[in-house]
A and B are shown apart, each in its own frame.
Chain A
Amino acid sequence: MPEAWRITRIGGRAGLPDAQASFLYMQRLSAILTLFLLILGFSLASPHFLSVNNTLTVLLQTSVIGLLGIGLTMVIITGGIDLSVGSVLALSGVMSALAVRSGIPVVPAMSVGVLTGAACGGFNGIVITKLRIPPFVATLGMMLIARGLALQITGAAPISGLGRAFGQLGNGALFRITETQPNGFPTVIFPGIPYPAILLLIVAIGAAYLLRRRQIGRHIYATGSNEEAARLSGVRTDRTKLYAYTMSGALAGLSGNVLMSRLVTAQPSEGVMYELDAIAAAVIGGASLSGGVGTISGTMIGAFIIGILRNGLNMSGVSAFIQQIVIGFVVIGAVWIDQMRNRN
């Protein structure tokens, strides 16, 4: 057993105590096992599950859940929650699209979306720290505000005609090799690595670095562990929380870009209930809703579990209603495990 602890420590879990690391290690192991069982089960149930096309679809779905999940992990570690990310995603995507339509080039236009998300997150943070509104209520309010704004400024109609460049982020891939057939149609020889997956990887590494190696990360853990103790120790807990919520909003904005780019259309009604998938991903990955605990790598595994679960149920012809029921039970189960751990 002590050997197992050692492994996790060498794995770069500096600053996180050994005993806690060992529990996370067990939980991590069971999460990975679940992931493999899901893949195995679904590939037996549906021959297309492991096809190249479907794998790409899973990667895309997972990258949206994963980006949201990373932001939520930071918020959850501070002991908070962010229910607004699904709506902020929609508002941000709409803002990016409007920027493109107004003639701004794609990259700065997409930054408009990310900034919109960050502004929503910052607003959440200010409401929570300055007005002392509980995170649950504050972000529930933002959930309505952002969704309402997205619907209002678009007149509830999708924005299309965004051009090829706008679709590049969601549909393009690195190292994709295509060949033009004699009949004029291109065929894909090697599908490449989708940009959203690369984006997710980069953001995940960046977030893990922030949480593990930077002072702000240490303060995020301390704030969630014992807010008053952190404050007495000189941690600016309000600023720390503001940072986490702003980050969560910005990442919701980024995932809004990915999703709308994928559709090459800005849908103001996209992303409903995505916050639940993202929360589930974080909690399955070991983040504790009572704060102080959570890892990016865990959330990534959680995001894949949710992404594969949704996709696999789809492929196996399970109805959308049954899917909701299954995911609902998964969320309750994950939180239940979290409760058991806290009682330990």
Chain B
Amino acid sequence: MNQSPLVEMIDIEKHFGGVRAVEKVSIDLYPGEVVGVLGHNGAGKSCLMKILAGAMQPNGGEIRVGGRTIEFQEPNDARAVGIETIYQTLALADHLDAPANLFLGRELKTRFGNLDEPRMLEAARKVLARLNPNFTNLRDPVSSLSGGQRQVIAIARAIYFDTKILIMDEPTAALGPSETKMVADLTLKLRDEGLGILLVSHDMHDVFDLCDRVVVMNKGRVVGSHAIDEVTKDDVLSLIIKGELPADWSARNLLERAE
């Protein structure tokens, strides 16, 4: 991995009154890799993701994209440099339909500045069909769709535009087995296309299948950052729960390297 990083987060901090949600967290992300972000509920994962997405402003630290320091004032600033996010809450407007949600905030317009509904509908039909061939009820309000369909819209919105960095905050939480498989395949495909992907997940199985590296957070701090082949599931669980690796880890790892 001798390329330069897509994004560097350096000493990021976020406080809410006395709550230290994120404390001096640094994470790099390179093109063509999937980095798993793990940790208990409340560890600060979503806050960190929102900061990188421009949806939350940090109290301290620095974000570099392509080597250049950038301050995100709002989500559009992050999108402008190719950072797209699938939020844990999906962030869909319930009363609007799938095309309206897909293009929310960056609507396609006609020459006269009117909303170009036919073009948005057509584009939505295409991208949604690629993710889920059974997605036909495009004109229904998204509130009436299944959890899986809603998730598909949120995913489509994050990959439709010119994405370089994809943040996925628990993208399979609302999905059944076949849709989870679809997201996994998609993740690997996008990685192979050269995207950098941050995957927040609780599913150890997914993490070990998809990620090249794991970063574990505990109480707002990074307690471990490892290539996936130097840790076991038990090691990661220990990091999540106790905030440290098992005592025998370095010995085991040295042995493996020696072999």
A and B bound? yes
Interface residues of A (CB under 8 A from B): 9, 14-20, 212-215, 217-219, 221-222, 224-226, 228-236, 292-293
Asked if residues B93 and A232 are in contact (CB atoms below 8 Å), the reply is no
Q: A234 touching B104 by the CB < 8 A rule?
A: yes
Residue from B109, B115, B139 in contact with A17 in the complex, judged by beta carbons closer than 8 Å: B139
Q: Indicate whether A232 sits within 8 Å of B100 (C-beta atoms), given known contacts A215-B115, A218-B115.
A: no
CB distance from A145 to the nearest CB of B (A): 31
A selection of 30 A-B contacts at a CB cut-off of 8 Å is A14-B115, A14-B117, A16-B97, A17-B97, A17-B141, A213-B114, A213-B115, A215-B107, A218-B115, A221-B93, A221-B95, A221-B96, A222-B96, A224-B95, A225-B94, A226-B93, A226-B94, A229-B89, A230-B104, A230-B105, A231-B75, A232-B75, A232-B85, A232-B91, A233-B101, A233-B104, A234-B74, A234-B105, A292-B94, A293-B95
- Determine whether the beta carbon of A19 is less than 8 Å from that of B75: no
Q: List B contacts of A293 (CB < 8 A).
A: 95
Interface size on B, residues (CB 8 A): 35
Residues of A with C-beta under 8 A to B106: 234
Which residue on chain A has the smallest CB distance to residue B80?
Answer: A234
Assess the A214–B93 pair: CB atoms within 8 A. Answer: no
Check A234/B79 contact, CB under 8 A, given A14-B117, A17-B139: yes
Q: Which of A14, A218, A219, A229 contacts B91 (CB 8 A)?
A: A229
Tell whether, in the assembled complex, residue A226 and residue B115 are in contact, meaning their CB atoms are under 8 Å apart: no
With contacts A218-B104, A218-B107, A233-B104 taken as known, whether A15 is within 8 angstroms of B113 at the C-beta atoms is no
Q: With A and B bound together, what is the CA distance between A222 and B139 in angstroms?
A: 16
Per DSSP, chain B at the interface is loop
Distance of A293 from chain B, by nearest CB (Å): 6
* B95 touching A232, Cβ below 8 Å: no
Residues of B within 8 A of A230 (CB): 93, 104-105
Q: Which 7 A-B pairs have the closest CB atoms?
A: A234-B105, A292-B95, A225-B93, A17-B141, A229-B91, A232-B91, A17-B97
Across the interface, do A222 and B115 meet the contact criterion of CB distance under 8 Å? no
Complexed CA–CA distance, A241 and B132 (Å) = 35
| Interfacial chain B residues near A235, Cβ < 8 Å | 104-105
| B59, CB-defined interface residue at 8 Å | no
Q: How far is the CA of A292 from the CA of B94 in the complex (A)?
A: 8
The verdict on B180 contacting chain A, using a C-beta distance below 8 Å, is: no
Closest residue of chain B to A224 (Cβ to Cβ) is B95
Neighbouring A residues of B100 by C-beta, 8 Å = 15, 218, 222
Q: Which residues of B contact A292 (CB under 8 A)?
A: 93-95
Min CB–CB distance B28 → chain A (angstroms): 24
Chain B 50-70 interface mask (CB, 8 Å, partner A; 1/0)? 000101000000000000000
Enumerate chain B interface residues (CB-CB to A < 8 A): 53, 55, 74-76, 79, 85, 87, 89-97, 99-101, 104-107, 109, 113-115, 117, 139-142, 144, 157
With the chains together, A168 CA to B109 CA distance in Å?
40
CA distance A15 to B79 in the complex (A): 24
Closest to A14 in B: B117
Residues of B within 8 A of A219 (CB): 105
Residues of chain A with a CB closer than 8 A to B114's CB: 213-214
Shortest CB-to-CB span from B218 to chain A, Å, is 26
Closest to B157 in A: A233
Q: Indicate if the CB atoms of A228 and B91 lie closer than 8 Å.
A: yes
Q: What is the minimal beta-carbon distance from B122 to any residue of chain A, in angstroms?
A: 13
| Distance in Å: Cβ of A289 to nearest Cβ of chain B | 14
Instruction: Contacts A17-B97, A232-B91, A292-B95 given; indicate if A214 touches B75 (C-beta within 8 A).
Output: no
A12 to B227, CA, bound (A): 55
CB pair A214–B55 under 8 Å, yes or no, is no
Report chain B residues within 8 Å CB of A226.
91-94
Contact, CB under 8 Å: A15 / B97: yes
Which residue in chain A gives the minimum CB-CB distance to B117? A14
Q: For the complex, give the distance between the alpha carbons of A68 and B21 in Å.
A: 46
A20 and B115 contact, CB distance less than 8 A: no
Cα(A230)–Cα(B74), bound, Å = 12
Contacts of B76 in A (CB 8 A): 234
Which chain B residue has the least Cβ–Cβ distance from A215? B107
CB distance from A228 to the nearest CB of B (A): 7
- Is A18 a contact partner of B139 (Cβ separation < 8 A)? yes
Task: Name the residue on B nearest A20 (C-beta).
Answer: B141
Partner pick for B113 among A214, A228, A229, A234, CB 8 A cutoff? A214
Given A232-B53, A233-B91, 11 more pairs with CB closer than 8 A? A15-B100, A16-B96, A17-B97, A17-B140, A18-B139, A19-B141, A20-B95, A218-B104, A221-B96, A234-B74, A234-B104
Report the bound CA distance from A222 to B91 in whole Å.
Answer: 11
Task: Given A233-B75, A292-B93, verify A222-B117 contact (CB < 8 Å).
Answer: no
Residues on B with beta carbons closer than 8 Å to the beta carbon of A233: 75, 91, 93, 101, 104-105, 157
Q: How many Å lie between the Cα of A86 and that of B90 in the bound state?
A: 40
What's the Cα separation between A221 and B92 when bound, in Å?
12
The interface residues of chain B lying within 8 Å CB-to-CB of A228 are: 89, 91
Q: A218 — which chain B residues lie within 8 A by C-beta?
A: 96, 100, 104, 107, 115
CA–CA, A14 to B142, complex, Å?
15
Is B55 in contact with A232, judged by CB distance below 8 angstroms?
Answer: yes
Report the Cα distance A236→B76, complex, angstroms. 9
Do A236 and B139 touch across chains, with their CB atoms under 8 A apart? no
